[in-house]
Amino acid sequence: MTTLFDPLKAGDLELANRIVMAPLTRNRSPNAIPPDIAVTYYAQRATAGLLITEATAISHQGQGYSDVPGLYGTEQLDAWKRVTDAVHEAGGKIAVQLWHVGRISHVDLQPEGGAPVAPSAIPAKAKTVLIKNGKAEYVDTSPPRALDASELPGIVHTFAAAARNAVETAGFNGVEIHGANGYLLDQFLKSGSNRRTDDYGGSIENRARLLLEVTRAVAEAAGPGRTGIRLSPVTPANDAQDDDPQPLFDYVVRELGPLGLAYVHVIEGATGGPREIKDRPFDYEALRAAYRAAGGKGAWMVNNGYDRPLAEQALQEGDDLVAFGRPFISNPDLVRRLREGAELNQWDKDTFYGGGAEGYIDYPALA
Ligand SMILES: Cc1cc2nc3c(=O)[nH]c(=O)nc-3n(C[C@H](O)[C@H](O)[C@H](O)COP(=O)(O)O)c2cc1C
């Protein structure tokens, strides 16, 4: 019987166990540069089979929150190199989540105070975080402008360049394309945010085009066996909404199947909320089956609200990896605690976003 503590080869990634740290934005990177305490934070959690970093902007235009890190400048890459070195020193593996927020941004965060970009000029009913005087403030996202088709090859190229820098310069073991939670690629996928009438809107094939172009380009840049992708078929996060998600996501994973990716990472239900949403039913087993039927050999990673019993059940049912989010914020030694059945530290929501060492690197490990 497979357990959470068994190793797994996911593409080129040799993972010591099946427990993954989910990507967690922490808003502690002024000027988009990870701080020294990020080195400690990630190294403390290096016993995870794989660490996935907080979402990291591929460009200034891809930024949507105060003090989140980037991957587009030398100082950012150098700071990330210190993080990856420390994780490797501690015996861990780490992938970076590649992020373009699209319309989930604010003019204060955009180059020259411009409008955020999106598939269509439809504002999101969503908030972003601006840090003012060291305190996180929730503000409405700014109305976006629709991207011109001529700008899309540049976005694909920027994702690929960030992926190349991530593995070649910053020392990451892999990259995860952020295709989830209502950000740019998810905005293109879903009918609620995409009303385009060109090759990137309308049919399922057209709405999935940008995500698949990005995935192929990133896989070429980083190596397919070092590339993963995160999807969230039904989450309402950031005003994400699709009229008919099952055929959309079945199509997406069928197209991902032949690409030789390291893993596909699926958020089941509402991110950080209910695993099943009454008016948004979804068959995740059918999704995994569609991926396998299309030749997909990558690891199947699941997330959202897992504890040990639920995670073990997932492995018995054919999933390969389980990502834990909030439990990893408050338990640097989560792997050990799960193995020993030890009690978990409770997380403090007030220190999720912004601030310094408190609520970041001061959660205790077992003695
Ligand atoms: C503080 C916080 C920050 C998050 N940041 C990200 C992020 O940067 N990228 C992402 O894909 N998901 C992000 N999420 C969602 C988590 O990765 C995860 O999907 C969610 O917490 C559910 O998993 P859990 O029940 O194990 O916590 C974040 C969640 C929290 C609580």
Nearest CA to ligand 1 atom 20: 272
Give DSSP secondary structure letters for 120-167: SS---S-EEEEEETTEEEEEEPPPPEEPPGGGHHHHHHHHHHHHHHHH
Q: What is the Cβ-side half-sphere exposure of residue 51, based on CA atoms within 13 angstroms?
A: 28
User: Could you give the CA distance from residue 116 to residue 101 in angstroms, rounded to a whole number?
Assistant: 9
pLDDT given at position 133: 81
Residue 44's alpha-carbon distances to 89, 153, 259, 279, in angstroms, are 11, 38, 33, 40
249: nearest Cα among 215, 278, 279, 211: 211
256: nearest Cα among 194, 202, 193, 213: 213
pLDDT given at position 320: 98
Given the CA of residue 303, which atom of ligand 1 is nearest to it?
23
Given the CA of residue 352, which atom of ligand 1 is nearest to it?
1
Pocket residues for ligand 1 (CB within 6 Å)? 22-25, 54-55, 97, 178, 180-181, 230, 267, 271-272, 303-306, 324-327, 352
Pairing of strands 13-15, 8-10: antiparallel
Q: Are 318 and 341 in contact (CB under 8 A)?
A: no
Q: Are 317 and 5 in contact (CB under 8 A)?
A: no
pLDDT given at position 136: 82
Q: Which residues of 137-146 are buried (b: 16+ CB within 10 A; e: fewer)?
A: eeeebbebeb
72 labelled catalytic: no
pLDDT given at position 68: 98
Q: Which domains does the chain have, with CATH numbers?
A: 8-351 (3.20.20.70)
Residue 276's alpha-carbon distances to 92, 199, 209, in angstroms, are 33, 33, 28
Catalytic residue among 41, 65, 183, 363: 183
Q: What's the 199 CA to ligand 1 centre distance in angstroms? A: 32
Mean pLDDT per 10-residue interval, the chain, length 367 residues: 97 98 97 98 98 98 98 97 98 99 98 98 97 86 98 98 98 99 99 98 98 99 98 98 98 99 99 96 98 98 98 98 98 98 97 96 97
Q: What's the 272 CA to ligand 1 centre distance in angstroms? A: 7
Q: What's the 52 CA to ligand 1 centre distance in angstroms? A: 11
User: Could you give the CA distance from residue 277 to residue 268 in angstroms, rounded to a whole number?
Assistant: 10
Mutational test site, ligand 1, from 4, 24, 42, 183, max ligand atoms within 8 Å of CB: 24
User: Could you give the CA distance from residue 270 to residue 273 in angstroms, rounded to a whole number?
Assistant: 5
Q: First vs last Cα of the chain: how many Å apart?
A: 30
341: nearest Cα among 49, 24, 5, 46: 5
Q: For residue 20, what is the enclosing H or E element?
A: strand 19-21
Given the CA of residue 324, which atom of ligand 1 is nearest to it?
26
pLDDT given at position 134: 75
Q: What's the 242 CA to ligand 1 centre distance in angstroms? A: 21
